[in-house]
Structure 1
Amino acid sequence: MNMPIQAQTALPLSQILINQRAHYLADPSPAYEARIEHLKSLKKAILSHQEELINALNEDYGNRSVDDSMISDIMPCINNINYSIKHLKKWMKPSRRHAGLLLAPASIKVQYQPLGVVGIIVPWNFPVMLSVGPLITALAAGNRAMIKLSEFTPETNKILIAMLASIFDQNHVTCIEGEADIAAEFSSLPFDHLLFTGSTTVGRHVMRSAAQNLTPVTLELGGKSPVIVADDIDMDTAVERMIYGKCLNAGQICVAPDYVLVPKEKLNDFVQAYKRKFTKMYGQVSNNKDYGSIINQRQFERVMQVLEDAKAKGASVMSANDEAINIEHQKVPTQIITGATDDMLLLQDEIFGPLLPVIPYDNLQEAISYINQRPRPLALYLMSFDKNTQQTVMNHTHSGGVCINETVFHVAADDAPFGGVGPSGMGHYHGKEGFLTFSHAKTILKRGKYFNTGKLIHPPYGGWLQNQLMKFFLR
């Protein structure tokens, strides 16, 4: 029987973890059939609650596009579940390895064992996908989960809590709400694995806290993801390929294009092409439900501070559709910014909003150097159909992921890992890599009843046969 929703946070966090771990130890390796049933139940629940989730997201944001929520929060979860169901049996199968002559006769296999209890810390920008997505992978790997929801999405949280409580006992999956103090306490719990999605700054605190328990972490952070517009591509095509990634959720996405590097002589062409395309896609954004709001006053003020800092230090700013910023509804058309310099906040921290610095460069090597002189980003985007340019950029830059002639959609690839590198994160999830992240790969060596060659190297040492074996394996 499911616990009432109120009981989701009635116990101390440490006690919830103790209870979940006890129940895990009572069933430490859930059968394939049980895992599939969990995934199917979760899929059914998401589909039956999708309208409520979308409405709640709209309430939390003040305005959030129904289609943005469907495409970026609901649909990825369903696709992830379908993909996991299709491949789970193959993932769970132990993999046979070669013992080699030194260990023969013996068999070696690697068994993928659930870790136990997984902690998931959820940000506010995609509260459904970034809570349910990791949960899907954790369940597929046979784990239990505690989920710390964002305090900035209370309406969405209500639906998520009710939805998950209708499927899972709190000793299997439970949701936690609370401010920063609860988040800090949550990250200090001795989970068997902790997955955090959020800013690099907070990620450092999470990793430091987890280190006290030697809790392994997956950090999905962010950073300043660049777009390189190469000189071979038509500017209208380049903008068409990248603009959706910048405008999705009003730029409040960790893999949103943060800044654009454009050939110096084509800077104005890019600006005009962006303005044309933006106006065609969204028109006036104030009353356009397809274009989202900044989620809350705090984030709106942060974005405005970055914008005003750039203006005060000499940058030029123009609205992508010549429309003023709607302060009442916190709706900001893309603000195209030229003349940005390194002393501006704009180029120092991840923007996470609808501001777009456009930076000119003289040649491709200069663009690559600009990127490499900065922390490695979560994503890198290249607009070029030239194969040599593509290969040069791939070989000489580091980033968590890459799109060539597209933006953000690599996140939706179920059959590929997603994660950062360096300051943009560590570890992967999604698909098989997610299953491996939430599993322990346990090596098992097995010998039979006869022909135990291991005793050939037992003491006393120095025998003739041992010496011959040493010579054989050290040749």
Structure 2
Amino acid sequence: MTDARALQAHLDQQRHAFAAEPFPSAATRRDRLARLARMTRQHRDKIIQAIHQDIGHRAEAETRLAEIAPLLMAIRHARRHLKRWMASRRAAVPWRLLPGRARIHRQPLGVVGIIAPANYPWGLALLPAVDALAAGNRVMLKPSEQTPTTSALLAQLAERYFATDELSVVTGDTATAQAFAALPFDHLLFTGSPRVGREVARAAAEHLTPVTLELGGKAPAIVAEDADLAHAARRIAFGKWLNAGRTCIAPDPVLVDAARLPAFIEAIRAVVKGFYPAGTASDDYSAVPGEGARQRLEGMLAEARDHGCRVIELGERQAFSHGAKLPPTLVIDPTANLAIMQEEVFGPWLPVIGVRDFDAALARVAAGPSPLALYAFTDDPARRRQLLEQTRSGGVVFNDTLWHGVVPALPFGGIGESGMGAYHGETGFLRFSHPRSVFLQARHNAVGLIDPPWRRWWLRLLGL
């Protein structure tokens, strides 16, 4: 479906359906969410196999943990709280307008477009759809062309469980994605790289389409002087090498006080050995798909070596027909000008940097672009408060990694270079709703007293 006219016709069909039902009932919205959950549960094995095939190797547990479970939790959360989210809210009225009443009516936007990434091709395609459907919208979804098997399965199942004017999936190449981004949606959500995000925003601006951009970038992890190194190493390793580092909120880089740097490296070695006893041959360690991604990562690592960085590989490389297993690798003290520090790694390389102390780490984070996630390992309440007050980020996790992204009630989104706007839970419901102002004038009121001709003494009496 690369033809722009065909895409526009599809959008028109959804707009027509929305116009016929501009405010779906709670029962209708719950039914749509229930079908989304049923579609995922009943075909879980097919989904797992399709993602495995697209990536080259993905542990079944990773797909269940990172894609299936968060989606089902989000659906349950939305269905449970939907009635409260939909209810109009009372708004305060200035005394001069009493006894008039004011309310905020949460109105669906219309048709929401979603452009999904390749790293979590099921979860990151459908998590925004949960919020958009809960808010009463119609949804058009463009999954990644880099995961053709999963995208085809998603299109096939969506057609079986939904009418095309409720939720539809548009498959195709980069040209299709570009045409999709240029459609006049009522809202467009994109998850991916900052470079492509800028292109999407430019295309959407042509129609003044509001956008939500989830762009990733660096996600620093600070290991404070009071942190338990073994615990910090274990949680950082989990967050970093889940999906072989192809997670937009994976820790990157680690900032640890220089005196404890050797001990942290040894702690990471021990954790990786425990997580993956067979190294990259372990079924629990995922592949990095695509020759282009592998070449980018290898070039990044080669540059770091050429500039004298200490590189510690914790496993062997394994090649596949359309990807490779690249080992967990530490890059010690890379300088700021290297690609590994300028770009989101989005792979299994982990920069580890020795800093003077916690204050120096905070200053380094505050001086850089605002990250999508920020991690800190400390039990000191004063340090936690200092971090929250002196830095900006999309989200913060203390003494762990990643988990803020799977709590349905927490908003998820970036700030500055890491994106704009947030979704998940009620925040997502509001993202895909219009807060419509409603004022109801009482039959008997005093507003007529301020009609012209205006008398100065009366205006003074009213404090105007």
- Coarse TM-score class (shorter-chain normalised): over 0.9
Corresponding position of 1:449: 443
- Matching residue's letter, 1:325: R
3-state SS of paired residue (1:119): strand
| Cα deviation, residue 198, structure 1 | 0.7
The CA distance in 1 between the partners of 2:449 and 2:300, in whole Å, is 70
> Are 1:384 and 2:360 an aligned pair?
no
3-state SS of paired residue (1:317): strand
3-state SS of paired residue (1:105): coil
The CA distance in 1 between the partners of 2:341 and 2:46, in whole Å, is 38
The CA distance in 2 between the partners of 1:10 and 1:238, in whole Å, is 50
3-state SS of paired residue (1:166): helix
Whether the 8 Å contact between 1:149 and 1:177 is mirrored in structure 2 is yes
1:465 to 448, 451, 458: 458
For residues 213-224 of structure 1, what are the structure 2 equivalents within 5 Å? 213-224=207-218
| Cα deviation, residue 447, structure 1 | 1.2
For residues 324-473 of structure 1, what are the structure 2 equivalents within 5 Å? 324-328=316-320, 330-451=324-445, 453-462=446-455, 464-469=457-462, 472=463
- Matching residue's letter, 1:355: W
3-state SS of paired residue (2:371): coil
Corresponding position of 1:3: none
Whether the 8 Å contact between 1:148 and 1:176 is mirrored in structure 2 is yes
2:239 to 245, 257, 264: 245
Whether the 8 Å contact between 1:21 and 1:116 is mirrored in structure 2 is yes
**Residues 410-466 of structure 1, C-alpha deviations (whole Å, 9 max, x = no match):** 101111111111110111100000000000000100013222x22222222236434
3-state SS of paired residue (1:308): helix
- Matching residue's letter, 1:324: E
For residues 39-438 of structure 1, what are the structure 2 equivalents within 5 Å? 39-320=33-314, 323-328=315-320, 330-438=324-432
Whether the 8 Å contact between 1:245 and 1:257 is mirrored in structure 2 is yes
The CA distance in 1 between the partners of 2:153 and 2:3, in whole Å, is 15
Corresponding position of 1:4: none
3-state SS of paired residue (2:359): helix
The CA distance in 1 between the partners of 2:379 and 2:231, in whole Å, is 11
- Matching residue's letter, 1:459: P
| Cα deviation, residue 9, structure 1 | 8.7
1:26 to 1, 20, 31: 20
The CA distance in 1 between the partners of 2:288 and 2:96, in whole Å, is 62
3-state SS of paired residue (1:330): strand
User: What's the RMSD between the two structures over aligned residues?
Assistant: 1.5
3-state SS of paired residue (2:325): coil
**Residues 1-47 of structure 1, C-alpha deviations (whole Å, 9 max, x = no match):** xxxxxx99997111111111111011100011111111111111110
| Cα deviation, residue 185, structure 1 | 1.4
The CA distance in 2 between the partners of 1:464 and 1:21, in whole Å, is 53
- Matching residue's letter, 1:357: P
- Matching residue's letter, 2:154: L
Whether the 8 Å contact between 1:9 and 1:176 is mirrored in structure 2 is no
Change (3 A) 1:234 1:463: closer
**Residues 109-149 of structure 1, C-alpha deviations (whole Å, 9 max, x = no match):** 10100000000000000111111111111110000011011
The CA distance in 2 between the partners of 1:47 and 1:458, in whole Å, is 62
TM-score by structure 2 length? 0.97
Structure 2 unmatched ranges of 5 or more: none
Percent sequence identity over aligned pairs: 38
3-state SS of paired residue (1:352): coil
The CA distance in 2 between the partners of 1:150 and 1:294, in whole Å, is 15
The CA distance in 2 between the partners of 1:10 and 1:172, in whole Å, is 20
The CA distance in 1 between the partners of 2:43 and 2:324, in whole Å, is 27
The CA distance in 1 between the partners of 2:395 and 2:62, in whole Å, is 22
Whether the 8 Å contact between 1:147 and 1:175 is mirrored in structure 2 is yes
The CA distance in 1 between the partners of 2:457 and 2:168, in whole Å, is 62
Structure 1 unmatched ranges of 5 or more: 1-6
Whether the 8 Å contact between 2:304 and 2:340 is mirrored in structure 1 is yes
| Cα deviation, residue 312, structure 1 | 1.4
| Cα deviation, residue 162, structure 1 | 1.4
Whether the 8 Å contact between 2:155 and 2:171 is mirrored in structure 1 is no
3-state SS of paired residue (2:413): coil
Whether the 8 Å contact between 2:2 and 2:172 is mirrored in structure 1 is no
